[in-house]
Structure 1
Amino acid sequence: MLALRKERGTGSGLMDIKFTNRLSYKQARLTVLVGFILGTLLSLIQIGIDYASEDASINREVRDLLKISHNPASRIAYNIDSELALELTSGLLQSPAIIRARLSDNNGMVLADVERPRMQDRYRSLSDFLFGEQRQFEDRLYLTHMPDDYLGNLYLEVDTYAFGARFLDRAGVTLVNGFARSLVLTGILLALFYMMLTKPLVTVIGALSGRDPRKPRQTRLDCPHGHENDEIGVLVKVANQQFVSMATEIDQRRNAENRLTQYLNELEDIVSARTNELKASNNSLSRSNQELEEARRRALDMAQARSAFLANMSHEIRTPLNGMLGMIALALDSPLPSEQRQQLAIAHDSGKVLVELLNDILDLSKFDAGQLELEHIPFDMGSMVEDTANLLSQNTAQSVELTCLIARDFPSSVLGDPTRVRQVVSNLLSNALKFTRFGRVDVRLTSIVGGVRLEVRDTGIGIPEEAQARIFQPFIQAGAGITRQFGGTGLGLALTHNLCKAMQGRLYIDSRPGFGSRFSAELPLAVHTEAIAPAPLQGRVAALSMAGSGLDELLQDLLPAWGLAYQRHDSSATLDAAAIDLLITDDLDRLFELRPALKTPILLVTAYGNFLPSEQSVALAPLHQLARPLARNALYQTLRRTLQGFEPEHPLASPAITLEQGRARILLVEDNPVNQLVAKGMLAKLGCQVQLATQGAEALDMLEQDTFDLVLMDCNMPVMDGYEASRRIRQSGRWPDLPIVALTANAMPEERERCRAAGMNDYLAKPFRREELLALIDHWVPVNG
């Protein structure tokens, strides 16, 4: 009973609703608020209209007053009567709005000028804000029968407050009426809403408050009279339905509680059994974690072993490669028969390809370790593409035409990492040459917004669409038979894809089986130097080549831009020998037919390694030979020499790179006899004086006895290696400015940091080229230094 009384007390509290919280008040408040806002807006609109009317009436009334005073004022000005003028202006001043009146003749003489002070009131500032403080009016005086004769002026100053006060009074009345209407409306609506809504709802709330929630099957609620079909009636019906549902739900819950008690007892037994199982699983998981930790430790050991193996293999492979390529390069600098020179050049190019393959393997390991670093230096990408294509042309099939097509507006130099860009070019071109046996392979280089686009197109076997996503994975090719038929490691495209991604670029592929492939690499390389046009040439050049060939496309693009008149011929029948200064062709069979009738020089474009022997060259003289792919500079220089009447050079001749004798005194620290010969031979060709030390301790003794400009330090030597020798040189403090350059066959990424930590200034990986050695000497031993 006590609980029931408490609940009933709570129910009676629900009926004690504050006036401001009742629905009738809220509805009346919202309705009146909307009505007040709308009434206020309408009152403001009415006041605005009244304001515009009052503002116009000021000017209209004063203009009417001027119109009435015009004829008398004109006669007074005509007669120059000051007394009448004073009388007229004083009469005008009787108007409440006029505070000054002045009458003057046509000579500017004032006949009368009267004024009075302005009216003062607390609302004057508001009136002045709306209508202005005062207004001036002026009327030009003339007689009606003499409108063109100017007699004088009637000037009036108007105090707008006389009009403004009248407007403010009307505006106040309008606003007060609107507010009063809102108050009356509020009372009426409040009473109506109370009778129609609040009172019946209070009755329903009272009935609900008197019910016991534990006995939902009590008497049904009665609907207030007159509300059986409206929302209140629906509310009562829904409440009665809910009471029935609640009674049913209470019964169901009691049954559910009984069943739940039974389930809880069963669950306790199940949890006990599961706990025992989890303990056993935790013990098994603990053993698995220990096994995983041991596997992780073994994997780390294997990764370190692989890194050490790669470093050791790099050193062991690069050391003999350095000796082989260095000796071949030295041999190519000596006078040789053309056949031997060609053989050595092919061997030298093959060694370079082997170095590129070794670099691909090492770079792939750098990607796996996240240790790849990119340079940001200027380099000539066009020349680099041509050099790379020339190097890889040895892999071109005899029936494949390799062409480098570089846009004439391509920059002379761009900013980026030349080594990584060269790898991208080399890998894409090697891939195209490997899978193309007939047709063309083109390397196209163009500028795009924000960078460059490198395209390699071929007419090879093509790649099926389902295999295009797999070819960028390491050691995977398009099909199982590809490796057996064409060879290859499957590293090139995977490395190229990673390099493009590392340089913030993108690599695209467009390929159809049987129709060839097109790989496009878009790289964000900024322009460092714009394209530089060569000096124009003069002459008439003809070509015997197939329509649509790479040679014709190249010549058609370059020769007119160099100032040369160019025509292509399908056959010698249409060729006018007297009208040309040079014939370019890649058809050797036609030369022996043409030469008796053709006296002009001939430029023969041959495949890699197919230069004519000396006796045939003499028979076809004057004959110039260039290997495909044609490089822009080589073609330009050959055309310039030919058109100026110079003798042809040997196609394999290489310009000598020499420095003045005594250019630099260099201490070479190297234990390998072959590498000693290579380095000494290259340095001698560069005009340097070289002294040799076979290990680090001997190098320290020689530094004590003599002065050197540069130390070339091998890293791996017996007794004292290059790292220890460099540390001792730096610790002694006697040679603080002596540059030390590391010569090492270890091309792993951590080797460079290890050399710098030992005190070395620079790093040169074996096998190195004479040009790289020259660049080091120029950097560390300046000519004027």
Structure 2
Amino acid sequence: MSIPQALLENAMFHQNLWWSYAKEGGLEVLNLSEGLQHYLGPAVVVLEDIMGDYETALLRLKIEEALKDENAISSEFDMRFNASYETLKGKRSFQHQLRVLQVDGERIVWANCIDVSEMVALEREMVDAQGRMTLTNMYDRQQALEERNTFITNSYNKQSRFLALLSHELRSPLLGISSLVKRLRLGSDVSPEVSSMLKTIAMTAEQSTYLVNDILTYSQTEYDGITLHPAEVSLPELLESVKQLTKSIASDKNLIISLVYLGEHQYVLADGVRLTQILINLIVNGIKFTQYGGVNIEVSETKKDYFLFKITDSGEGINNERLQQIFEPFAQLETDEGRYTNNTRYLGAGLGLFVVKQLVELMGGEIKVASEVGVGTTFTFELKLECLDKNRLAASVSEGVTKLVVLQKEPCLKSSTQIGTVSVNSETATQNLCLDPLKILIADDSKINRMVLAGYLADLQCEVVEAKDGREAWELFKAQKFDYVLLDIQMPFIDGVEVSKRIRDLYNQGKAPSLKGVFAITAGGDASGFITEEERHDTLGFDEWLVKPVSKNQIVKLLQKDYRASDEQKDIKLEVENKKINYDSKQKDERDDLASIDDVPKQFHHLFESFVVEMTSGLKELNELNLLNNREKIKKTAHYLKGNCMLFQLTGLVKLFKSIEMIQEMNTNKVASNLSRFEETKNVLQKLILNVKNLEKSGSISHNKQ
């Protein structure tokens, strides 16, 4: 098989770029033009030699395709493709036009080649340019989007920060109003009409304070996050504090706030400020939607370091559809349903439960809610709080039964931490408290706050010097001798932290020998927000850090301690205090263990006689049921009587009835164990009978006094 002679004799034909392919006797026959051979250089024997480093199956695929095509020999057949060869001039791209020739009955593939390297390079450059243009546009667009996003984020952060600052500025006057109104309401010359108006002002101020606290927490969550600051906290005292803080709002609707603490430990490691905020929000939420009854707080120690919090109200309940939305922010703004209760409008932006959920999750817990329309709602969450074993609460039930604890209503003589947030306790009688004459410096840029603190201290016969900013406070401290200093943190010219550090340095130089303590009193939260990462609380120079509102009882506690006394002096004072506590405890144990009419809110005194009669009858029934070993009826009767005790706020009796219920849960059928359960139930019933008799006796004494 050969190329036609006419073509071979044409010199121009040999200078063109072409190659031919055929098979002869099963072997491949490859012919190249002189022009193409000149490009390639080395002799070409097989088809792969043409491709060089760019060898692919492309040529063979195209040849096979052309040979199999029945119409390939027609003049209309036209197969074109590009392929690159390794030539003496480097990589070159060629366009191939394949045709099939019929010679002596055999098919020959004829490939005419055109060097299109410049065109391919230009095309590639155009593609690259288009790609670069696209990437540039994408980059510019991305940069524009990032700049816009940065602008939006900065604007949002500025708004959130402004909201946080505004919330802080609102807290201070609101707390001042609450404190002044409280002092006015305690006055003996206040008329009933004025007292009613003051009560309304106090309620509005308290609700506004809770709302501002929620806004502040929400803005912190959205802007820069919230950091927990665990400290040593007395959990029973914190719970009692929460009860007292919400009690006034509940009493305005004739509702009861009851509290039961079932635990073995008193002190835990927790962020007391945030835990208090969680509980207050849940209680206030329950008060809003409750018409009759009240709200019950029950805290149990499920196991060491784990505490279950349960807040139950007897309100209107929540339907399932609404239940799915209650933890969403601003959910309350979407509807006015429930915002008016008993003709009273409650302030709120729908942030309370959202804030609760955020804080519970931040503390490692999960909040759950269960509700039944017309019955009430229960919120539960469990938190891991490290227990501090140095103080365990005494058990009130025999071994083998869950231990129940009676909350102490007296304020503790020792603050929970050396540097921490002092918890708010219930107001106790301090009018007759005798303190040595003390000279105290108050520094606060809010006149109303200075008035509140000065009023408390005046009642305690203290000499008070006021400063309206940090600079004036520092000058006064250098010029005069003070026993205690109370500093606001955010003040003009020099802030409270800087004043405290200067006072500390002066004291360390021996130039302030009379100083007994320096205290921070601020509406801005705990110390963590005012120190750098390198600093510690004790580097600020403060002996205690209090968060407004500050009660008179807190001030009294602060002034009972010399924080700058030597260790020897502290040991002597502590020994004296312990002896006094032990003596007082022995004198009061028997009396404190029994309930009296003084434990019952005055608004329920008119129901007291009926309550005692029902309790006496109920205890008699329980005694009979215990003889019959009727565990189910014992539980039901004890549960009913426990509810009455919750209404009358008789916490000790609530715990005893709770223990009876739990004793019946002992899962055994052994005779010996049944006898044990009978004896344990009998012992608790005897305690209840003694309490009811003391209640009746105290009621009679109170009636005779009247």
TM-score by length of 2: 0.51
Offset from partner CA, 1:365-422 (integer Å, 9 cap, x none): 23331232232313133x5445434543555599986452525556444442222222
State the distance in 2 between where 1:678 and 1:424 align: 27
One of 741, 753, 760 as aligned partner of 2:531:
753
- The CA distance in 1 between the partners of 2:161 and 2:355, in whole Å, is 21
Superimposed CA distance per residue, residues 623-646 of structure 1 (whole angstroms, 9 cap, x where no aligned partner): xxxxxxxx96679xxxxxxxxxxx
Which of these two proteins has the greater Rg computed from alpha carbons?
A: 1
How far apart are 1:520 and its partner, in Å?
0.8
2:155 aligned partner = 302
- What is the identity, as a one-letter code, of the residue corresponding to 1:360? D
Q: Which runs of 5+ in 2 are unaligned?
A: 1-22, 28-57, 68-78, 85-94, 96-118, 411-425, 571-706
Counterparts of 1:673 and 1:384, CA distance in 2: 29
Structure-2 change in CA distance of 1:423 and 1:679 (3 Å): same
Q: 1:748 to 1:290 in 2, by over 3 A?
A: farther
User: Residue 357 of structure 1: which of 211, 220, 230 is its match?
Assistant: 211
Q: Which amino acid aligns with 1:656?
A: T
1:389–1:256 distance in 2 versus 1, CA, 3 Å: farther
1:430 to 284, 290, 300: 284
What CA RMSD, in Å, does the superposition of the two structures yield over aligned residues? 4.9
Give the stretch that moved more between structures: 364-373 or 657-666: 657-666
Distance change >3 Å, CA 433–CA 376, structure 1 → 2: same
Residue by residue, what CA displacement relative to the aligned partner does 1:127-184 show, whole Å, maximum 9, x if unpaired?
xxxxxxxxxxxxxxxxxxxxxxxxxxxxxxxxxxxxxxxxxxxxxxxxxxxxxxxxxx
Q: Which residue of 1 aligns with 2:464?
A: 690
| Residue of structure 2 equivalent to 1:518 | 378
Distance across 2 between alignment mates of 1:462 and 1:270: 74
1:376 alignment partner AA: A
User: Are 2:626 and 1:764 equivalent residues in the alignment?
Assistant: no
Deviations 1:333-363 (A, max 9, x none): 5435684667646644553343232222222
Contact conserved, 1:435 with 1:460, CA < 8 A, in 2? yes
User: One-letter code of the match for 1:356?
Assistant: Y
Kindly tell me the number of residue pairs found equivalent between the two proteins. Answer: 437
User: 1:478/1:299 Cα in 2 relative to 1: closer, same or farther (>3 Å)?
Assistant: closer
Q: Which amino acid aligns with 2:473?
A: A
Name the counterpart of 2:435: 661
- Distance in structure 2 (CA, Å) of the matches to 1:399 and 1:723: 42
Which of residues 136, 146, 149 is equivalent to 1:283? 136
The 8 Å contact of residues 321 and 767 in structure 1, kept in 2 or not, is answered as no
Of 652, 657, 678, which residue of structure 1 is paired with 2:452? 678
Deviations 1:103-141 (A, max 9, x none): xxxxxxxxxxxxxxxxxxxxxxxxxxxxxxxxxxxxxxx
Are the counterparts in 2 of residues 742 and 764 from structure 1 also a CA contact under 8 Å? Answer: yes
What corresponds to 2:488 in structure 1? 714
Deviations 1:698-737 (A, max 9, x none): 4344334332232223345556554564565466656488
Q: Is the 8 A contact 1:470 1:476 kept in 2?
A: yes
What pairs with 1:233-252 in structure 2 (closer than 5 Å)?
none
**Within 2, Cα distance between the matches of 1:769 and 1:279?**
70
C-alpha distance in 2, partners of 1:301/1:472?
Answer: 27
Structure 1 residue 522 displacement after superposition: 1.0
Paired position in structure 2 for 1:233: none
Distance in structure 1 (CA, Å) of the matches to 2:296 and 2:497:
46
- Is 1:323 the counterpart of 2:176? The answer is yes
Q: Write out per-residue CA displacement over residues 553-574 of structure 1, whole angstroms, 9 at most, x where no aligned residue.
A: xxxx99xx99xxxxxxxxxxxx
Distance 1:315 1:423, change over 3 A: closer
Checking the alignment, whether the CA contact within 8 Å between 1:713 and 1:741 is kept in structure 2 is: yes
- Which residue number corresponds to residue 275 of structure 2? 421
- 694-703 or 756-765: which moved more? 756-765
Q: CA deviation at 1:671?
A: 4.4
Q: How far apart in 1 are the matches of 2:336 and 2:183?
A: 41
Distance 1:474 1:263 in 2: 65
Q: Displacement of 1:441 after TM fit?
A: 4.2
Do the aligned partners of 2:167 and 2:213 also contact (CA within 8 Å) in 1?
A: no
**Offset at residue 436 of structure 1 (A):** 3.4
Q: Match of 2:205, SS?
A: helix
Q: How does 1:471-510 map to 2 (within 5 A)?
A: 471-477=326-332, 480-482=335-337, 488-510=348-370
User: In structure 1, how many angstroms separate the alpha carbons of the residues matched to 2:66 and 2:282?
Assistant: 75
For each residue in 1:492-515, what CA deviation from the matched residue of structure 2 results, as whole angstroms up to 9, or x when unmatched?
A: 111111111122222112235555
- Could you say if the C-alpha distance between residues 445 and 666 of structure 1 is closer, same or farther in structure 2, counting changes exceeding 3 Å? same
Distance 1:422 1:336, change over 3 A: farther
1:668–1:712 CA contact under 8 A, matched in 2: yes
Matched, 1:372 2:227: yes
Q: How does 1:23-102 map to 2 (within 5 A)?
A: none
Shift of the 766–375 alpha-carbon distance from structure 1 to 2, 3 Å rule, reads same
| Paired residue secondary structure (1:406) | strand
Deviations 1:520-568 (A, max 9, x none): 11111244444436799xxxxxxxxxxxxxxxxxxxx99xx99xxxxxx
Structure 1 residue aligned with 2:302: 448
- For 1:677 and 1:422, the matched residues in 2 are separated by 26
The answer as to whether partners of 2:263 and 2:299 remain within 8 angstroms in 1 is: no
Alignment of 1:146-185 (within 5 A): none
Unaligned runs of at least 5 residues, structure 1: 1-213, 219-248, 537-556, 563-630, 636-651
Alpha-carbon offset, residue 768 of structure 1: 2.4
Task: Return the offset for 1:320.
Answer: 2.0
Contact 2:161 2:219 in 1 (8 A): no
Identical residues among aligned pairs (%): 24
> Partners of 1:359 and 1:780 in 2: how far apart?
33
* Structure 1 residues 692 and 438: CA distance shift in structure 2, 3 A: closer
Kindly report which structure 2 residues correspond to 1:78-157, keeping only aligned pairs within 5 A, or say none.
none
Q: What whole-Å deviation, never above 9, does each CA across 1:218-255 have from its counterpart, x for those lacking one?
A: 9xxxxxxxxxxxxxxxxxxxxxxxxxxxxxx9986854
Give the match's secondary structure for 1:482: coil
Task: Assess, with a 3 A threshold, how the Cα gap between structure 1 residues 708 and 515 changes in structure 2: closer, same or farther.
Answer: closer
Amino acid of the structure 2 residue aligned with 1:359: N
C-alpha distance in structure 2 between counterparts of 1:449 and 1:363, whole Å: 30
* 1:507/1:520 contact within 8 Å kept: yes
Match of 1:703 among 477, 490, 506: 477
Report the residue type matching 2:531 in the other structure. E
Shift of 1:669: 2.6
Match of 1:388 among 213, 218, 242: 242
Residue 306 to residue 399, structure 1, CA distance change in 2 (3 Å): closer
**1:741 maps to 2:498:** no
CA shift in 2, pair 1:251/1:534, >3 Å: closer
| Preserved CA contact (<8 Å) 2:185 2:198 | yes
Mapped contact 1:440–1:458 kept (Cα < 8 A): yes
- 1:278/1:331 CA distance change after superposition, 3 Å: same
